[in-house]
């Protein structure tokens, strides 16, 4: 069996949010430095020795999270309609990453996207259609 590689890139953004309908302190406006990681899997490296260029993946992820930087997530689509929880953010970012990674190369697939709103928490969304 030929192995596959998992390539991981990271980005971050600073944003505020509040969780409507939540009865704890997160119902009030507060901010985080959101850390995002995204992973793709691919076959053996090509002639250049890479499955996919890190710079390409970092650019894609950076373009996606840029829309949230220094914003209130509750005011940015789709979070004007759904709660901007880490879970929903991870699902949305996964969907956007899948859309933009399509066409990078044969056999390259998105594995997962993770979102951390603090150093000791993380949500990982894997596969499937979000929402």
Q: Closest Cα partner for 88 from 76, 100, 99? A: 76
6 catalytic per annotation: no
The residue from 12, 26, 109, 111 that is catalytic is 26
The residue from 35, 37, 96, 117 that is catalytic is 117
Give the strand order in the sheet containing 71-72.
71-72, 5-17, 30-42, 109-118, 121-126
Which secondary-structure segment (H or E) carries 115? strand 109-118
111 catalytic per annotation: no
Length of the chain: 131
CA count, 13 A, side-chain hemisphere, 36: 31
The residue from 6, 30, 63, 70 that is catalytic is 70
Cα–Cα distance for residue pair 11/1, rounded to 1 Å = 33
Count other Cβ atoms within 10 Å, centred on residue 6: 11
70 catalytic per annotation: yes
Residues designated as active site: 26, 70, 117
């Amino acid at each position: 069996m030929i192995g596959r590689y998992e390539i991981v890139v990271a980005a971050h953004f600073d944003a505020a949010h509040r969780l409507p309908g939540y009865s704890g302190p997160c119902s009030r406006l507060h901010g985080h430095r959101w850390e995002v990681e995204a992973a793709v899997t691919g076959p053996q490296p090509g002639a250049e020795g890479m499955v996919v260029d890190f710079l390409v993946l970092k650019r894609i992820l950076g373009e996606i999270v840029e829309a949230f930087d220094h914003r209130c997530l509750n005011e940015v689509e789709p979070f004007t309609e759904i709660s901007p929880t880490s879970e929903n953010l991870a699902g949305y970012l996964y969907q956007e990453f899948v859309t933009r990674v399509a066409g990078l190369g044969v056999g390259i697939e998105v594995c997962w996207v993770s979102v951390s709103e603090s150093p000791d928490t993380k949500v990982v969304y894997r596969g499937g259609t979000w929402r």
